[in-house]
Amino acid sequence: MGNDEIPARDLERMDEQIQGLMNKLQRDRAKNHTAKHGKNAMADPLHLDWRVPGEATALANDGDFLWVGVGNYFGNYLLLLHKPSHSLVAFCPMMARDHISSLTVSSTSIWIGTAYGDHKLLQLPKSPFLSVPQGRWVSLTISPEERAQLVRNMDVRDQAMYAFYADDDARVAALLGGIDPDKASLEEMFILAFSYDASGLDKPELARDWFEHIISRYPDSPWAKFARSALAQNEQNHKDKMHEEELLAKYDRDHNGVLDPEEKRVMERDPGYQNERKIWNADRLENQLEKIMQRFDRNKDGKLDRGELESLKAQVTVFSQAPPEKLVGHKNPVVPLMTKKFPAVTDILQKYDVNGDGGLEAGELKMLAQDIQKGQ
């Protein structure tokens, strides 16, 4: 764009946008995988169900036939449908640059009005459309077999992207798993890492490999930053998943895959579980606080100073005061510090800044978190 360099604030804004988009992608994936848990049907990300290439913008009845104006990103089209048989009879791209806004028919012609332009009404003869032999009509519905053939005709990259957005992680791995890391694109590396993560095939070693390839290939980039964060989160998610499976194996007496209220009561009264839970919670707290330090320690001096604590307090306030329905789909980065009575920063430093260096180091932040949780 003619600039020798990009201003730092613009780079920071782009970095934040990339992190936000990638985090949303991961949240949506986790939600979709949870929604289809136990179901065999895969999503169809292209919605290849009907042979109508876009949004219907105008309709005109004509006996057993229906004329339809359709528009999409690539252009505008006139379709002729046969209503009784649900068939597409004919299809005509329009030369007009504006979408079809109105249609009407006479005995011999179809009249077409277009939007936002200075075009006169278009008049087309009906006979070329109506003369298409019935043997050449096609069903409006795209069958599963035809859809599968359309996907098979895509190149490998597009098939992998289709499989990824269809939540078919095994197919992504089958298509791209053998790719040379040195030749893989950034896009391919990410969808492989995601497909192997805890929301997908849950193969943490392979997920780690691909996240590390991204970090190695694009050091000091927003992509590497996200990959590091996603890698740490995935390893925690894998531990959580393994822990849940261990609890199910031990306490799910009827083997239905869930702990009912009575099974939970038995589990919670078990001294072994109580001791294990204390250890588990302590490890989880350490992990959560480490992420909080990384997120809010902007100057990377190993502690949260007054300004950084003010940012932390503001974040806690937002999440603790927001209605639950507003938080759906949003990851809470300050879980162990959640309270509606978060102390003033001056009080925090006075009580928890044990070494008097003007900030909270990891151990001091842990004391704050433990006191908050005791207060709950």
Q: What is the pLDDT of residue 329?
A: 56
Q: What is the pLDDT of residue 124?
A: 93
pLDDT, tens digit, 9 for 90 and up, residues 230-260: 998 898 889 888 888 888 998 888 888 888 8
Question: Per the structure, how many domains does the chain have?
Answer: 3
Please report, for residues 73, 333, 365, the alpha-carbon distance to residue 368 in angstroms, rounded to integers and kept in the order given.
Answer: 54, 16, 5
On whether residue 236 sits in a domain, the answer given is no
Mapping DSSP onto H, E and C, the string for 137-164 reads: CEECECCHHHHHHHHHCCCHHHHHHHHH
Percent of the chain whose predicted confidence (pLDDT) is above 90: 44
Q: Which amino acid is at 257?
A: G
Q: Is the pLDDT of residue 51 over 60?
A: yes
Give residue 211's domain range.
8-40+156-218
Lowest-confidence segment of 1-5, 101-105, 173-177, 357-361 by average pLDDT: 1-5
Mean pLDDT score of the chain: 87
On whether residue 289 sits in a domain, the answer given is no
Q: What is the pLDDT of residue 114?
A: 87
CB 230 within 8 A of CB 220: no
Percent of the chain whose predicted confidence (pLDDT) is above 70: 93
26 with 72, same domain: the answer is no
Q: Which of 199, 218, 237 is the last residue of a domain?
A: 218
Q: What is the pLDDT of residue 321?
A: 83
- What mean pLDDT is predicted for residues 217-227? 91
Between CA 1 and CA 363 the distance in angstroms is 47
Structure pTM?
Answer: 0.65
Q: Half-sphere exposure (CA, 13 Å, Cβ side) for 134? A: 5
Greater model confidence, 236 or 359: 359
| 3-class state of residue 114 by DSSP | strand
Q: What is the pLDDT of residue 326?
A: 66
Q: Is the pLDDT of residue 272 over 90?
A: no
pLDDT, tens digit, 9 for 90 and up, residues 54-108: 899 999 999 999 999 999 888 899 999 999 999 999 999 987 668 899 999 999 9
On whether residue 314 sits in a domain, the answer given is yes
Q: Is the pLDDT of residue 2 over 70?
A: no
Q: What is the pLDDT of residue 35?
A: 67
Q: Which of 218, 233, 250 is the last residue of a domain?
A: 218
On whether residue 331 sits in a domain, the answer given is yes
Please report, for residues 139, 307, 330, 332, 375, the alpha-carbon distance to residue 340 in angstroms, rounded to integers and kept in the order given.
Answer: 59, 20, 19, 15, 11
Q: What is the pLDDT of residue 325?
A: 67
- What mean pLDDT is predicted for residues 190-198? 95
Between CA 235 and CA 370 the distance in angstroms is 24
pLDDT interval class at 308 (50, 70, 90): very high
36 with 59, same domain: the answer is no
**Phi and psi of 180, rounded to 5°?**
-70, 120
26 with 69, same domain: the answer is no
CATH number at 307 reads: 1.10.238
Could you give the angle at the alpha carbon of 73 between the alpha carbons of 70 and 74, nearest 5°? 85
304 with 369, same domain: the answer is yes
317 with 359, same domain: the answer is yes
Q: What is the pLDDT of residue 137?
A: 96
160 with 29, same domain: the answer is yes
Q: Which of 218, 241, 256 is the last residue of a domain?
A: 218
Between CA 213 and CA 199 the distance in angstroms is 20
On whether residue 287 sits in a domain, the answer given is no
